[in-house]
Chain A
Amino acid sequence: MKTILDKTNGFGDPVGRMTESCHRCCRFVLKIGIFGIPARNSCPEVAEPLGSNLSLPPRLLFLGKTVVNRQLLIGLNCLLLTVSPAVAQERLNLSVDRVVSAIDDRFQQSWQAEQVVPAEVADDAEFIRRLYLDLAGRIPAVSELRAFLADPARDKRAQIVSQLLDSPASVRHFTTVWRNALIPQANSQPEFRGLIPGFQAWLWERISAGQPYDQIVREIITSELNVSNGAALAATTSPDAFFVVRELKPENLAAGTARAFLGVRLDCAQCHDHPFDKWQQQQFWNMAAFYAGFSRPEDADRDTPAMMLSMAENRDARSIRIPGTEDVVPAVFLTGGSPDWNQQPQQTARDVLADWIVDPQNPWFARMAVNRMWAQFFGRGIVDPVDDFSDNNPPSHPEVLDLLADDFVAGGYDLKRLVRVITATRVYQLSSRQTHTSQQDPSHFARAVLRGLSPEQFFDSLAEAVGFYQPYRSDNPFVVDTDSPRAQFLDLFRDSAESSLDRETTILQALAMMNGEFISNATSLNDSQTLKAVIEFPAMTDAQKLETLFLAALSRPPSETEQQRFGEYLSTGGAAGNKQAAMADIFWVLLNSSEFLLNH
């Protein structure tokens, strides 16, 4: 196997990239989970670009090679294993364990109080599929699944969480998650689509480096925008898209900042006192005053986008005029206090705002972050909708929210640690199978709910299941491709639902899955990598082949009934009277099932 490094490595982790790519091209072997037998010695599909035209520092090159050797040694197990010193790991686990058991206790108490009978704990297969979707953004490969199921270690669930959190797939997945949360406009409004690569690359670097969340947010809010340089703005690795999608307007930035980082919906208060909440119009503009540097001259033509980019920021501005009135209001925090400008003469209003937002004493900042992350794993927040913290919308489990938020602050705003805590809780590890009617109300978190996949999760899982090799240029945040199967599926499956619990399937999506070219190829005997691998593998019995297809698509072996039903279809050759065609039929069925197309 050759080293595969990306020459555009500014955002690339060469080790991780290689791991991913290896994993893709060795799937013949990996698919059916037989370790140690390389199917081929090189990866023709990724022959370019290679080491010859690298612009990497030697250290990284060396790293890459080291991993290659180790890869071969460990028999092509392509998961990157980063083993930290055992002692440090144990200490970390201990404190995570403490929070987790406190959270488990709270839920236990609330279930008892509400007379809720929680669902069973999910078995390993159910757990690992969910975990891969939630951490790596795709279902596990058959080899990864088999390895996990066979692992006798008692703490294997925690181990796989750590392992996945260090994987490049996880960095990519969470980059997408946060990008969607911070600049949602880039998905819904085509004029902002071009901003995705620069923002994504910027975020990628930070998430990849494990940068604390408070620092990421501070960097966004205080970003030194180069607003006069419109064209470069889109192509630069920077967080500036956060400002551009809000059209560099103080009012949009105030509302967006409050919503994204504090979970406070100020929007209504822009034009009048909030009808259902305590926010007053004046407070809205007090918040907007922190962004007053972006105020536009009265006579600006709002329909000329060029205006937006040729404008300079007045970095001394600290107050703003409420439009349509003569009232000029100063920058005041939502908690009521005013900044002490004399103490911080060097700081701009945005610097001061950032300080206040990420302050551990800020009543919303940490809670909002953990709540958003929680919703990512459960389809609903402890406060739900996630960005609606309000007296009228109390949290379902306030103590759990506090436990998570306190640990998040104490742990230095470490997003990975937060994920470790959430995924270790009993509620996360519950089965989706409903065993009692009391589990129906999702706010009890008494069973895992059905969640729609994001378009990215969906396509990457599909690619995994059918053995579709994704050219790795689609990993490159600077390449906006529009004609790859991935891009086409992302377009077709783009959904505006705010919660994964509300995601709906359209007729066009159903037709594409049933009859579209991609699925036709994936279930055709000539073109499907997975089918070919299964059909052509001589040593497998029919039952084993059936099991492999189930593992590839549904990440679990068939039940006894299914073994019988599908086994019979296979042995009689199905409707076509031909075993291979019957295999294709079964694979088609699995890929079109809601069990495949949903997270559960």
Chain B
Amino acid sequence: MQNHITRRLFSGYSGLSLLGTACSGWLPVLAAQAATSAKPHRRCILLWMSGGPSQMETFDPKPGQENGGPTTAIETSVPGIQISEHLPKLAAMMQHLAPIRSMSTKEGDHTRATYFMHTGYLPQGPIRYPTLGSMLSRELINRECDLPSFVSVNPFRAFSPAAYGPGFLGPSWSPLVVNSQMTGDEQNRDVSFEVSNLKPSEQITEAQSDARLQLLTSLEHDFLSSRPGAPGRSHVESYQQAVRMMKSAAVGAFNLDDEDQTLRDAYGRNPFGQGCLLARRLIENGVSFVEVNLSSADGSGGGAGWDTHADNFEAVGSLCGVLDPAYATLIQDLHQRGLLLDTLVIWMGEFGRTPKINENTGRDHWPKSWSTVLAGAGIQAGQVYGSTSADGMEVESDPVTVQNLMATICQALGIDHETTNLSNVGRPIPLADHGSAPIAELLS
């Protein structure tokens, strides 16, 4: 009897070998899941603007209006569509973009709004909603990929750590967080990315490292084969994933050195610019969701630079100096490589800024009428969706809720937005909240 049990239990761990699976695939269960899901591998890049970017200085300028301030508008590659003077390179990419000028939400608090825009739900009661990256990478995952399905570059989590976590989906859907290092002096600034602890210490030879993993596999087998349970399974799975990544050539994606220098310059030699380039490389390597955060004029993810309560015009100008080349080059690069067809690029922050300019030449929090931008996979680009009044105070046409934006994002990625996941309170939760609907005009 005991033998039978041991054998049967062990069969669940036949993917246990830490070394052997590096190339050969996953636990049988996961492999089976992959086999049944014949979804195309669409991908998603989220450019997150922490602090809440001003719509009037980006995608919804109001030149000549009192509320518009000194910001002027420029023509774009799509006749009739104008955007702010701060985004000339993006203006030339307008045929690939679909700005939404009629976002209308009710959350003007950084913490709640950051959570809302990242999960599609307001924080409520005990339910821990997953962040977009966790939720969508779980749907889009490419099991062939040696890298984690969700990578987050320079996140600024202080506003709402919960908005950046996997919530009830569990830690296995956590992002792999990568932070940038800046090197060189001001003239020769360079940026690199490193996944912490990816290599054993230098004293450990590869043979030793392999021998360790082999011994570990035997120990795990002896222990877990007679002790089934989720924590043990999760332990083995995460070690397998980690070893797979350590041994994979795909980690080369994090090293930008082999990238064309002119292209690197075009993205901008700053953390956000190079982060966008990293996002493209990760997408190419099979990663499903990459979030890149911009919240400081030096391109890093520190602080909440878009929170321009004072000196709005100068601050947004410098931030756009980082945003414009990075975002535009990303779109162009993805397009040229044929990746834009199945990669959705989202640009958003937690809310917009007050149309009225305050006494510090700043703009305050404004969730009532503001802008986000979609591009790429499944999006009908080259159009503006929705509009605001001349003074920017009201949404004039086609108001867009967070829920409908989420549903649209899901549809664009080929995911049914009504797909549910079982939450920590035992209630099934749809990807986009009940009652939401994708915006048909935005979908191709």
Contacts and interface: CB of A to CB of B under 8 A. Distances in A.
Interface in A277-295: none
B238 A576 contact: no
Given A507-B148, A594-B223, A565 B218 contact: yes
Interface in B212-245: 212, 215-216, 218-220, 222-224, 226-232, 234-239, 241-243, 245
B197 interface: yes
B263 interface: no
A321 to B, nearest CB: 22
Interface in A578-597: 581, 585-586, 588-590, 592-595, 597
A515 B5 contact: no
Contacts of B170: 497, 502, 504
B165 A496 contact: yes
Given A432-B227, A498-B424, A514-B242, A437 B236 contact: no
Contacts of B197: 508, 511-512, 514-516
B304 to A, nearest CB: 14
A520 interface: yes
B122 interface: no
Interface stretch (A308-316, A445-453, A470-478): A445-453
A451 B165 CA distance: 22
Contacts of A595: 219-220, 223
B232 to A, nearest CB: 5
A592 B216 contact: yes
Given A501-B229, A501-B231, A505-B238, A565 B215 contact: yes
A508 B194 CA distance: 13
Contact of A450 (B9, B108, B195, B229): B229
Contact of B241 (A510, A575, A585): A510
A524 B201 contact: yes
Nearest to B127: A267
Contact of B211 (A451, A495, A507, A574): A574
Contact of A503 (B205, B227, B234): B234
Interface in A550-578: 559, 561-562, 565-566, 569, 574-576
Given A190-B161, A575-B210, A600-B227, A504 B238 contact: yes
A400 B335 CA distance: 65
Contacts of A504: 170-172, 230-231, 234, 238
Contacts of B128: 496
Contacts of B224: 594
B216 A593 contact: yes
Interface in A438-457: 440, 449-452
Given A588-B212, A589-B215, A188 B235 contact: no
A520 B238 contact: no
Interface string B179-223: 000000000000000011111110101011011100110111011
A299 B162 CA distance: 29
A598 interface: yes
A515 B199 contact: yes
Nearest to A303: B109
B227 A434 contact: yes
B232 A561 contact: no
A156 interface: no
B24 interface: no
Contacts of B201: 515, 517, 520, 524
Given A524-B201, A566-B215, A502 B230 contact: yes
B238 A450 contact: no
A120 to B, nearest CB: 11
Contacts of B246: 511, 514-515
Contacts of B234: 503-505
Nearest to A592: B216
A600 B59 CA distance: 57
B196 A512 contact: yes
Contacts of A436: 1, 5
Contacts of B229: 449-450, 501
A507 to B, nearest CB: 5
A435 B2 contact: yes
B125 A589 contact: no
Given A507-B245, A515-B197, A598-B235, A559 B222 contact: yes
B227 A506 contact: no
Contacts of A597: 235
Contacts of B266: none
B222 A503 contact: no
Nearest to B223: A595
A509 interface: yes
Contacts of A420: none
B200 A594 contact: no
Interface string B148-164: 10000000001001100
Contacts of A46: none
B126 interface: yes
Most buried by A among B172, B226, B246: B226
A594 B158 CA distance: 32
**Interface range for B:** 35 or more
B222 A562 contact: yes
A503 B199 contact: no
* A581, A590, A595 pick with most chain B CB within 10 angstroms: A595
Helix, strand, loop or mixed for chain A's interface? helix
A188 B161 contact: yes
A514 B170 CA distance: 21
B341 interface: no
A43 interface: no
A585 B211 contact: yes
A419 interface: no
B196 A511 contact: yes
B176 interface: yes
B367 to A, nearest CB: 12
B387 interface: no
Interface in B95-153: 108-109, 125-126, 128, 148
Contacts of B162: 188-189
B22 interface: no
B174 interface: yes
A7 interface: no
B158 A190 contact: yes
Nearest to A598: B231
B177 interface: yes
A506 B172 contact: yes
Given A450-B227, A575-B210, A511 B171 contact: no
Given A303-B109, A440-B228, A516-B197, A507 B242 contact: yes
A189 B239 CA distance: 29
Contacts of B171: 495, 497, 504-506
A416 interface: no
A268 interface: yes
In this complex, the member of A190, A303, A514, A598 whose beta carbon has the largest number of chain B beta carbons within 10 angstroms is A514
B232 A594 contact: yes
Nearest to A520: B201
In this complex, the member of B172, B216, B219 whose beta carbon has the largest number of chain A beta carbons within 10 angstroms is B219
Given A505-B171, A515-B199, A576-B205, A510 B212 contact: no
7 contacts: A189-B162, A504-B172, A505-B235, A505-B238, A514-B242, A565-B215, A597-B235
Interface of A: 188-190, 267-268, 303, 432-437, 440, 449-452, 495-498, 500-512, 514-517, 520, 524, 559, 561-562, 565-566, 569, 574-576, 581, 585-586, 588-590, 592-595, 597-598, 600
Interface of B: 1-2, 5, 9, 108-109, 125-126, 128, 148, 158, 161-162, 165, 167, 170-172, 174, 176-177, 195-201, 203, 205, 207-208, 210-212, 215-216, 218-220, 222-224, 226-232, 234-239, 241-243, 245-246, 424
In the A-B complex, list the 5 residue pairs whose CB atoms are closest, starting with the nearest. Answer: A450-B229, A575-B211, A510-B242, A504-B234, A511-B197
